[in-house]
Structure 1
Amino acid sequence: MDEPLQMRDFGRCVVIAGKNGSGKTRLLKLLDDIAKRYVTPDARRQAELEIAQQRQAHQSHQAEIQRFQTQPRSSDLPGQVEVMRSQMAMFETEISRREQRIAVSEALIMSGEGQPKIVFFVPRSTSLEDPADGKENEAIHRASAFASGLGAEGAHVAAPAYARQVMRAATSERGSRKPRGTAGSHQAETDLIDMFGELLGDGVQFELNESQNLQLEGLTEQYNTLLSDGQKVLFQLACMLHARTASLKDCIVFLDEPENHLHPSALNDLVDRLLDVLVDGQLWISTHSVPLIAHLSATDPDCLWFAEAGKFSRAGRAPSRVVNSLLGGTEGARRLNELTLLPSRYASFLLLRQCLLPPGVIPYEGKDPQLDQIRAVLDSVRPPGRPLSILDFGAGKGRLLDAIADAAGDKPIGGLIDYVAYERCEEDAEHCQMHSAALYADGGSTRRAFSSLADVQQVRGEKSVDIVIVCNVLHEVRPAEWLDEFGAGSALAKLLRDDGFILFVEDYAIPVGERAHEYGFLLLDEKELGKLFGITENDVAQGWFNRNDHAQPGYRGRLIAHMVSAKCLERLTERSRWEAIRALNERSLERLQTLLAQEHNTDTKPVLGRENALVTQLVANSALWLRDNPKAFAASYEHG
């Protein structure tokens, strides 16, 4: 394994993909081992108290031994000293043991307060043992133990006994073997048989024979010989899900290569059902299954991690590494692409689909070119003799703060940056506050994160901010709120110093679509921002408006930061808003026309597919807003 191993910012599902021997299974076993030694916050506080007490006792014994050594010797002193030294050694051992346990526990960051419950959920046997072939009391015991358990160990023996017990109980209360009930005391049987149908296939149904033992409906042959290996695995999984739905809801479930013996569609159905069950839990999957990866990445691109030689990196935004690895290189990936969709078409369809989904929060993962760009701008405007006061508008979970701390290294950031976060989501704002408390020497006594701009203004005061950073946020703000958020009378305008700026930072090749508001999203570039704030040539000459393109060629023209002086905010009006969105519509139409005029073939890159989807979406989004705001349209010409 790569040391140190760092993985963070997980969602409800974590997918680890890579070749055999890349470290996927080893990672799951490592997490299981650490979780078994995890110390809960309450237990940690108790351990730290006991460590402090034992250190105090150790110091007391040390002082007592030193006192003995200065006194006249007596016959019993050597014995007392030996006893105290023995106790000191015991204290040292206990302190070391508790510190090691706390250190191991720090490797995991848990969202809850309790002990993590990790469950390995993939059956390893493809053979089912019929309870009719063994002793009745042993089968009853296995069924009961199966119902109260969590993991997959022994499921090939216990699952058939459990299924038989569920059906026997329903039959006993019903008074006859048929027909099967659908409610009340028969619901458990109904749910189990429905689950068999969903996972094993509609044609696979179980019943009890005359001896009250399991058989496939209408067949007398042993089901263990009639079912395929995959169906036997699914039988075990169906019984596990049925028995443990309630107890699994807050567990961390591990699926280690669950695709073995299973059809891709059956595996996808199983994973979806598990995610429904894990209401407060988490699902970790190590896999080689490209269909499963595609299924889960379509709804959560950030779930995917790439394993290679014991190293793990997030791959959701660049899944080609995973696909190439699993398909034997680029040639295998190319053949799969040819079998399904052209890459550019897939990228286009994916972005358009994402445009119907709400935006997510981007975590900091180090070496972020966009944040490097922001740091370069901040260095250029830092005032002499005092920290630069910044307001992180739409801070999320503190991605910018992480980048600033990374750049500072071991240096305290308090002397460089006076950081304040504004994030509407109270949970994320609280996360920013706790994170800033760990980075600043004041230990959290200074409030640095707010869910209301009015609170920022009340606590920090007017004219207190040098620069407001709006990173990947402006396109998510409803146009109806632009004047209130960025206009002359806004809280931001009051917070900014007279020589302050707003820094609008955007990725103009936005890789993931989103539905941020009723008009999707509106991505304003230099021309549109100039219209929005009434920028003149004189403003540019005075440095009140400037465009900062990324220094690296690979991001040039894509990652751009626009600085707008506080002096220009008063020019934001309903008319300038309309002109900005009209300019966006015109620019997007021109780019779309250029793309359509070009020749494309099977080698067309995914980036062009995404761009085509992006400009098409911007044309539609801006046109919808212009259609819904005819009064602004008329006013623009009446005063133009």
Structure 2
Amino acid sequence: MFERIQLDAELAREYGLVADQPLTGLGSIVAITGPNGAGKTRLLRLLAEQLQTDRREFEDFAAITNPEDHDWTEQVNATCRFACDASAEPDEKRKQILGAMKRFMGRYRTSDGGWREFAKTGRWPRVVYLYAGDERSQLYRSRRQHHDTDIQDKDLRAFPKDALEELAQARFLAAHPMWLEGNEDLHERANRFATTVRALIGAELDIHVRGTSMFATLNGRRIDKDTLSEGQRVLLRWAQLIHEEVADLRDAILLIDEPELHLHPHALIEAITRLAELHPAQIWVATHSIPLLAWIGPRHIYSMDQGRPSWAGNQMKRVLGGLLGENDGTERLRTFLTDAGSLAFHQFAAECLLAAGVLPLRDGDPQAAHFVTHISELLQAAEQDVRVLEYGAGRGRLIEAIAALPTGDRARLRYHVYNDPEHTDPADASTCRAQLARLEGSEVTHRYCDDLRQHQLDAADKMDAVVLCNVLHEVSPQDWPRLMDRLRACLRPDGHLLILEDQQMSVGELPHDAGYIVLDEVELCALFNAAAGTPLLRYGQLHAGRLSIAEISAQLLVACTPDCVNKALKQVQQRALDQITTLRRPKGPASPAEPGHRRGRLHAYYALLHTNATLARSDA
């Protein structure tokens, strides 16, 4: 890796650039930025040509100074190229060698400063130039036609379908010993390439066989230019380049021109990171991407201004002004980033004017997983069948989660569902029925109902548990006493009510006129007129306090009265007010270490919670 490079002044003039100052403080990744036409691409091309031209001279110089490390033919050719003519005196040759060494030491400095050891290796970095392949490259191609260069330039737009097919087929055919014999190198290259694809793209390269035809696949999908996004095609192209150059990549300097034309910021940063993990000598990137520049950091950014490169570390304001506009572009970006909390506040508040949605089951859903654990514990503790009624099941999110339990573990579970037809979309109801039928292992289910009275009949089999998952906050507080009476009529005397809630919902909603009301442990105690710590009301939290599950004895439900509702709402008001006060003290000792966006969302959540509780109180 070069820590310092002095550009060739004459070559720079040919490219329309100014090379009056060396490029210093270069890291393993160097960014070149600036507005359109400032010279970013021309600087990369200049570097490509200069490094490749100096490579040949360096190799000649190394062959003469370290003859034991080079074959006889190479040494003779190098000596001939260095000699002015056949009668050149030894002193003149020494002067040439000394001049070459001084020139290299003046033009380049390695990262460890060890020029002597670097010269002894005799290895100059190879140059791989990745460019967009558009018409802007015409000048560069024209120069290459008139100059003796062997720079390996790679068009990022090329799609390596033939190479993919060949290597995928090689992996498949390797299973046949007759083919493998004599094709070991191809098989090894194919495996290396598959490893590179897996590392860079996160997809598995394989082969699909149809009759006598074979075609390459990624994660089971056929690889075709038209079925892949431009970013995926570029990453495959990068994988091919890495595969082709893998033996020499540690000694290569990669020059990449505006990769953000093909990749969104996150994919771009991931790709550069993975390239860096392959330890090339150096990576240079010409870019307009502000996320990529932020990731690289100001220490290793050079900006172009009218063809002159300069270190950007102490002039980032000017650099950003050139990219975003001198007037107010930088200020708008700063406002956008620093006001993430404000944006989150307004977004959540706006969402609180919309009706509540229905959640699907997500991979790793912590609330559903905790519910399944509770049901499993309930089944283990009971000797008989366990009857559970989910009130307001929506499309069957919890049913789907329970279905993941082994059949034997849930054999004694009798899971029933109630959805209010006035508040349930027919499509959601149909999905819920199907989920319940699958849970039962049948085509139809008789455990779905839209009339709760059938479970309230004296002759009905009562439930061991009734579940309200993200439901209570969607019921108007004035209806809570009536709801508790209805649920109590469905429960066995020793049964219990399970209330699961998201204590810090990430999406706002307006489930009824008063808005959402989410209760914590103290507020539930107030609602059911219970003392804190009573075994009749057990409360637990998970997921860093965000999710809660309360187990309330059936005998407490009768205590839910309008007076208790107002007491619970008063406690909600106080908690919300305390949280708002804390969030508005960002430098106080009690303030949470929250990122701006999350902080803004919490601010909105508690502000609306306080408002909703105030609106819901009948005694206010």
**Which has the greater radius of gyration?**
2
